[in-house]
Amino acid sequence: MSEPIGIEIRNLYKIFGPRGADYVDAVNRGMTKQELNDRYRHVLGLRDINIDIPAGAIQVVMGLSGSGKSTLIRHINRLIDPTSGQILIEGQDVVGMTPQVLREFRRHKTAMVFQKFGLLPHRTVIENVGYGLEVQGVDHAARDKVSMRWIERVGLLGFETKYPSQLSGGMQQRVGLARALANDAPILLMDEAYSALDPLIRYDMQTVLLDLQKEVRKTIVFITHDLDEALRIGDRIALLRDGQVIQQGTGQDIVLNPADDYVANFVQHVDRGKVVQVGSVMEPLGINGTAPAMMVKSDATLTDAVRQMMAKGVHFLEVQDKGGKPVGRLSLERAISVAAGAA
Amino acid sequence: MFDEFPQIDNGLLRDLKRAIDEGFRAFTRSYGDAIETMFDPLRHFLNWSEKLLTGTPWPIIILIAAGLAWFASRSARMVIGCVATLCLIGAFGMWDDMMKTISMILTSTLMAIAVGLPIGVLMSRSDRVQAVVNPVLDVMQTMPPFVYLIPVVMLLGIGKVPGLIAVVIYAIPPMIRLTNLGIRQVDGEVLEAADAFGSSRWQRLVKAELPLALPTIMAGINQTIMMALAMVVIASMIGVQGLGQPVLQAISNQYFTLGLFNGLAIVGIAIVFDRVSQAWGRRIQKHRGGHHV
Ligand SMILES: Nc1ncnc2c1ncn2[C@@H]1O[C@H](COP(=O)(O)OP(=O)(O)OP(=O)(O)O)[C@@H](O)[C@H]1O
Ligand SMILES: [Mg+2]
């Protein structure tokens, strides 16, 4: 199994159009996407993106349609060339790679899942799953062995000789996922991989991904415009607007401290009780004399804590860190008011 | 005043035509033999395929045709129709001519594919190439075939090879156009996927672009075959043997029935080729719909 590796995106700009590089300065000085389009007929794709994605983390990128999510993720394996900036992976700048080096990099370091699946319609499931290995030159028998393992893992056993058009959307995306995983690349890029699926299947596929991540631990960049999905899946979330990162941090950071009205609007309908962890809203120990009888781990959600208090009929919980050391306390009142968005 | 269009001075015009003709003749004198030798392998191949088709006993040919029709369509009706057409043409005394024509069609189609496919691929790669090739194809398709028979005959004389070349020139445009179109229409996300997994350009072409464009390319091959058949009569003017020659005789001698029989035989072959190749095309794209169940 490959070790996870991190991704550092530095000062990344993308301006679509024949003379994009000429306008980086202007954009830098504050020209907006609208102005750039009106005055110079160039489209601002990305502006000064800086994101550090730690090895083994799931980084979610969110934003409305046209905010530049697809553009951003396609820079990581250079399906799109940037106008300026760097993408550092294992100390190597993807932007400077020669075509051969880039090809090897794509074969062994990254794998991608697409919104509309991007499967080869003339190939069966097993031939699609083995595509990455085939391109690498792995022989037929070895390829099929690995493919079968992943086909089984994503729950498609028995469908390996079917063609994509014979499968439902959810099943096709399982093929897309298996194809990406069969590559055993440390970086997994998912561009709205689940957006085309209906809610139940989508939830199902999120579970598949989270379970897999416990086993194989990859660095995953996951694009979505669904906040619930982002909060469920993402270790970290970056919010894009008009090609710019307007906030990045954990799901809790964004829900509890939205950077501006745009973000606040985005998160206002979230069920905060399911997102916010006890540790981030607890009060210091010992303001109130009586020691709580029950305790809760600091990474439990508020909803869990409230449920526990209701069940036991208590009004306070002691909050403990991972080692079991008491670090604070939580009152029922505070838990409910934060969860309801009142605090 | 306006009765006559002001035209270039007659003498000048004559000199111009003469100069071009002289130039081309000179070119023919110095390079004609070399060019003829260049096409030698083609002549050998043509002779070989003609001998193969006319030399093979007819029951075997019928068997092979039935087998091909079955392989392409998996339909008994298609096989019966195909065999019946061949037998009927044979019964009316046109078996040998039919074999010669089929040999010509197969060879010219193979050549049209061999030349047209790479050109179509190049065209799909670059808008500039497309902008150059498209008008050339337009000219090829609208220029009366008799016109380009002239230089071909001047260069290579009368015979099978010049006939083949004339047929290929006439029949190749749809092959090129539909290859280009087919590749340009391939779903962008599938190509992105091919790239994202590190395909080389060649792998991308043979594993993704061509297979996905295949239904369109097949339509191009089908049209090429039909056009080649249509050209067979004209090409017989410069020595291509087969079903075209009797038609030519029929025109000059006013033998209506002879012309009709051979004409109908050509139609029969066209229908067989068309139906069989289309059935095959449908069969290979059964799973390509891309729609969900
Ligand atoms: N090849 C291109 N040429 C010009 N403009 C482009 C190109 N690709 C993308 N854009 C523009 O860049 C911006 C960002 O597009 P992008 O596809 O990255 O958005 P997105 O966030 O993925 O949106 P969606 O949610 O609809 O997929 C848009 O304004 C789009 O019009
Ligand atoms: Mg997108």
Domain that includes residue A284, residue range: 274-339
* CA-based nearest residue in chain B for residue A102: B198
pLDDT digits over A228-274, tens only? 899 999 999 999 999 999 999 998 889 888 999 988 888 888 888 88
Question: If residue A58 lies in a helix (H) or strand (E), which one and from where to where?
Answer: strand A58-63
Cα pseudo-dihedral A282, A283, A288, A290, rounded to 10: 30
Structure token digits, residue B53? 């088709």
Contact between B256 and B250 (Cβ < 8 Å)? yes
Partners of residue B198 in chain A, C-beta under 8 Å: 103-108, 132, 135-136
Question: If residue B103 lies in a helix (H) or strand (E), which one and from where to where?
Answer: helix B95-125
Q: Which of residues 149-208 of B touch A (CB under 8 A)?
A: 187, 189-190, 192-200, 203, 207-208
CATH code at A14? 3.40.50.300
CA pair distance A62, B45, nearest whole angstrom: 63
pLDDT band at B290 (very low <50, low <70, confident <90, very high): very low
What total number of domains does chain A contain? 2
Last residue of a domain, one of A219, A247, A270: A270
- Atom 2 (ligand 1) nearest CA: A16
- Both A15 and A104 in one domain: the answer is yes
* B208 contacts A165? CB cut-off 8 A: no
Of A114, A122, A134, the CB nearest to B189: A114
Ligand 1 atom with minimal separation from the A68 CA: 18
- Both A228 and A308 in one domain: the answer is no
How many Cβ atoms from other residues are within 10 Å of residue B11's Cβ? 8
Q: Is residue A130 included in any domain, yes or no?
A: no
pLDDT band at B137 (very low <50, low <70, confident <90, very high): very high
- Both A262 and A300 in one domain: the answer is no
CA pair distance A114, A70, nearest whole angstrom: 10
Contact of B127 with chain A, judged by CB distance below 8 Å, is answered with: no
CA pair distance A306, A300, nearest whole angstrom: 10
Q: Is residue A68 included in any domain, yes or no?
A: yes
pTM of this prediction?
0.86
A176 C-beta closer than 6 A to ligand 1: no
- Atom 29 (ligand 1) nearest CA: A66
Instruction: Chain A: give the shortest CA distance to residue B180, in Å.
Output: 19
pLDDT band at A299 (very low <50, low <70, confident <90, very high): confident
- Both A227 and A286 in one domain: the answer is no
Give the neighbor-by-neighbor strand order of the sheet with A316-320: A294-297, A316-320, A326-331
pLDDT digits over B39-96, tens only? 889 889 999 999 999 999 999 999 999 999 999 989 999 999 999 999 999 999 999 9
Q: Which of residues 50-79 of B touch A (CB under 8 A)?
A: none
* CA-based nearest residue in chain A for residue B188: A118
CATH code at A311? 3.90.1280.20
CA pair distance A132, A114, nearest whole angstrom: 14
Burial of B89 (0-12, 13-18, 19+ CB in 10 A): buried
Instruction: Chain B: give the shortest CA distance to residue A315, in Å.
Output: 53
CA pair distance A2, A108, nearest whole angstrom: 10
> Measuring CA to CA, which residue among A107, A273, A190, A166 is closest to residue B290?
A166
Residue position matching structure tokens 């139940």: A200
Q: Is residue A260 included in any domain, yes or no?
A: yes
Residue A340 phi/psi, 5-degree rounding, is -85, -5
- Atom 16 (ligand 1) nearest CA: A68
Structure token digits, residue B83? 């065999």
Q: Is residue A118 included in any domain, yes or no?
A: no
pLDDT band at B293 (very low <50, low <70, confident <90, very high): very low
Q: Is residue A28 included in any domain, yes or no?
A: yes
| Domains of chain B (ranges, CATH numbers) | 32-288 (1.10.3720.10)
* HSE-CB for A311 with a 13 A CA cutoff: 8
Tell me: pLDDT of B4 over 80: yes
Stretch among A219-228, B184-193, B284-293 having the lowest mean pLDDT = B284-293
Cα(B188) to centroid of ligand 1, in Å? 14
Last residue of a domain, one of A253, A270, A287: A270
Which of the listed residues A12, A15, A38, A70 should we mutate to test ligand 1's pocket, taking the one with most ligand atoms within 8 A of CB? A70
- Both A288 and A324 in one domain: the answer is yes
Q: Which residues face A60 on adjacent strands?
A: A222, A237
CA pair distance B272, B266, nearest whole angstrom: 10
- Both A98 and A201 in one domain: the answer is yes
Contact between A252 and A282 (Cβ < 8 Å)? no
| Pairing mode, strands A236-241 and A58-63 | parallel
* A114 contacts B193? CB cut-off 8 A: yes
Supply the pLDDT for residue B289: 53
CA pair distance B104, A271, nearest whole angstrom: 74
Mean residue pLDDT of chain B comes to: 90
Q: Is residue A53 included in any domain, yes or no?
A: yes
Residue position matching structure tokens 């290929």: B168
Q: Is residue A261 included in any domain, yes or no?
A: yes
- Both A332 and A308 in one domain: the answer is yes
- Both A228 and A215 in one domain: the answer is yes
- Both A45 and A102 in one domain: the answer is yes
> Measuring CA to CA, which residue among B286, B293, B289 is closest to residue A166?
B293
Tell me: pLDDT of A287 over 70: no
Cα(A25) to centroid of ligand 1, in Å? 21
pLDDT digits over A46-76, tens only? 999 999 999 999 999 999 899 999 999 999 9
Last residue of a domain, one of A270, A285, A306: A270
Supply the pLDDT for residue A288: 59
Contact between A305 and A258 (Cβ < 8 Å)? no
The interaxial angle of helices B160-184 and B127-142, nearest 10 deg, is 140
The secondary structure of residue A235, as a DSSP letter, is S
> Measuring CA to CA, which residue among A258, A290, A289 is closest to residue A275?
A258
- Both A252 and A298 in one domain: the answer is no
Tell me: pLDDT of A3 over 90: no
Contact between A327 and A282 (Cβ < 8 Å)? yes
3-state secondary structure of A45: strand
DSSP code per residue over A112-181: EE-TT----TTS-HHHHHTHHHHHHT--HHHHHHHHHHHHHHTT-TT-TTS-GGGS-HHHHHHHHHHHHH
Of B187, B197, B212, the CB nearest to A107: B197
pLDDT band at B33 (very low <50, low <70, confident <90, very high): confident
- Both A197 and A314 in one domain: the answer is no
A68 C-beta closer than 6 A to ligand 1: yes
Query: What ipTM goes with this model?
Result: 0.86
Contact of A122 with chain B, judged by CB distance below 8 Å, is answered with: yes
> Measuring CA to CA, which residue among B193, B163, B182 is closest to residue B116?
B182
* A165 contacts B292? CB cut-off 8 A: yes
Q: Is residue A162 included in any domain, yes or no?
A: no
- Both A84 and A15 in one domain: the answer is yes
